[in-house]
A and B are shown apart, each in its own frame.
Chain A
Amino acid sequence: QSALTQPASVSGSPGQSITISCTGTSSDVGVYNYVSWFQQHPGKAPKLMIFEVSIRPSGVSSRFSGSKSGSTASLTISGLQAEDEADYYCTSFTTSNTWVFGGGTKVTVL
């Protein structure tokens, strides 16, 4: 199972919006709405930010939103803040009853 494809890095200025893409195949993102997004700060455990494509867990800022079109899912961070600087990973359930992660995207706040 190949990793989902994410851009290596995305940057933006405070207050701006950025979008991170996550491209899979017809065996994962394209066939299931079980896509999640995680935020990971250096040396810390990942934190669930979005699940089932677009649902925010309790306590996650409404500045984070998710969507999907075909085999590509996206995470948008609006009103970018310094604390949003971190690595972000997508993951999807697959037709093999396994999960596949993306390679990760480093978000830099300029």
Chain B
Amino acid sequence: EVQLVESGGGLVQPGGSLRLSCVASGFTFSSYWMHWVRQAPGKGLVWVSRISGDGSSTNYADSATGRFTSSRHNAMNTLYLQVDGLRVEDTAVYFCARGSSGYGNFDLWGQGTLVTVSS
């Protein structure tokens, strides 16, 4: 089955860190750009980052630059998002999404993992 499954979310204090994971199955993972998109409770979707198929190229939203790092392990079909220096406003469901082209076309999404930043 073609799918993405995220994990790694949880409750963390402000200033803390988490590593989110997204395991892909049913397709050639290394052939696709992969993205992270987040959604705060009751709010809209916000693009966070993308990484190329070979992991050599990344881009980040301004809100993520310097605090978030996207990486991937193609042999394990896994995408990661390291999130450091977490703030209350980073509380959100984090989705991974497959980009069917270099210009987005997010055609496959995971179910999301919830990150809650609170003291």
Q: Could you say which residues of chain B place their CB within 8 Å of the CB of A18? A: none
Q: Could you say which residues of chain B place their CB within 8 Å of the CB of A99? A: 35, 47, 50, 104
> Do the beta carbons of B45 and A91 come within 8 Å of each other?
yes
> Do the beta carbons of A57 and B103 come within 8 Å of each other?
no
> Do the beta carbons of B110 and A45 come within 8 Å of each other?
yes
CB distance from B18 to the nearest CB of A (A): 20
> Would you list which residues of chain B between 88 and 119 have a CB under 8 Å from chain A?
95, 97, 100, 103-107, 109-112
Q: How many residues of B contact A (CB 8 A)?
A: 23
* Partner pick for B44 among A32, A89, A97, CB 8 A cutoff: A89
Known interface pairs A45-B110, A46-B109, A47-B109; A98-B47 also in contact (CB < 8 Å)? yes
> Do the beta carbons of B95 and A98 come within 8 Å of each other?
no
Q: Could you say which residues of chain A place their CB within 8 Å of the CB of B31? A: none
Q: Could you say which residues of chain A place their CB within 8 Å of the CB of B62? A: 1
Q: How far is B46's CA from A51's CA once the two chains are assembled, in angstroms?
A: 17
> Do the beta carbons of B44 and A57 come within 8 Å of each other?
no
* Partner pick for B103 among A32, A40, A103, CB 8 A cutoff: A32
> Do the beta carbons of B44 and A36 come within 8 Å of each other?
no
Binding site for A on B (CB under 8 A): 35, 37, 44-47, 50, 59-62, 95, 97, 100, 103-107, 109-112
Selected A-B contacts with CB under 8 Å, 28 pairs: A3-B44, A34-B103, A34-B104, A34-B105, A36-B104, A36-B105, A36-B106, A38-B45, A45-B95, A45-B110, A45-B111, A45-B112, A46-B97, A47-B109, A51-B104, A89-B45, A91-B47, A91-B104, A91-B106, A93-B103, A93-B104, A97-B59, A99-B35, A99-B104, A101-B37, A101-B44, A101-B45, A101-B46
Excluding A36-B104, A98-B47, A98-B61, 5 further A-B contacts by CB distance (< 8 Å) are: A34-B103, A34-B105, A89-B45, A91-B106, A98-B60
